[in-house]
Amino acid sequence: MNVLGKLSVLPRIPAAIAGLHALAQNLWWSWTPPAQALFAQLDAPLWEQVSNNPVAFLTRVDQGLLDAAAANPVYLAAYTQVQSDFQAYLASGEARYAELVGGATDVQPSYARPVAYFSAEFGLHESLPIYSGGLGILAGDHCKAASDLG
């Protein structure tokens, strides 16, 4: 039999909790337990099964669970708080960067002289097994520090 292609059916994140996708795509969730809890609250066994990886989680979570969460006031309150914290973190990074370049508030990062950090491993989170020891953890810490600085 010839295989002509592969069809993947993915759950659709309801509009009320659509920010879960952006959250999963940003490593901020990896050092923020309330963000991790948002995913675990949807389906704890699946969260464990995917090794706490939100990207993998969102491709496998049951549509009914997403729909139920989008209608649950308790979940929505936790979601709103995490989203607020996430946006504040992103904004504070921009403010810290502006401080570093002389206090200007409208300064955008300059990529005229970019900095590259090369490492064979980066210890970012247990769900991303691309590290084996201390130097990988150190590289991950450098990535977080750079994020904190905007």
* Segment 40-55, tens digit of pLDDT: 999 999 999 999 999 9
- Residues 118 and 133: their CA atoms lie apart, in Å, by 16
Model pTM above 0.85? no
pLDDT(142) > 60: yes
Identify the burial level of 128 via C-beta atoms within 10 angstroms of its C-beta, where 0-12 means exposed, 13-18 middle and 19 or more buried: middle
Quote the mean pLDDT of the chain: 84
pLDDT of residue 102: 61
**pLDDT 10s digits, 79-131:** 999 999 999 988 886 666 666 666 555 555 555 566 777 888 877 777 777 77
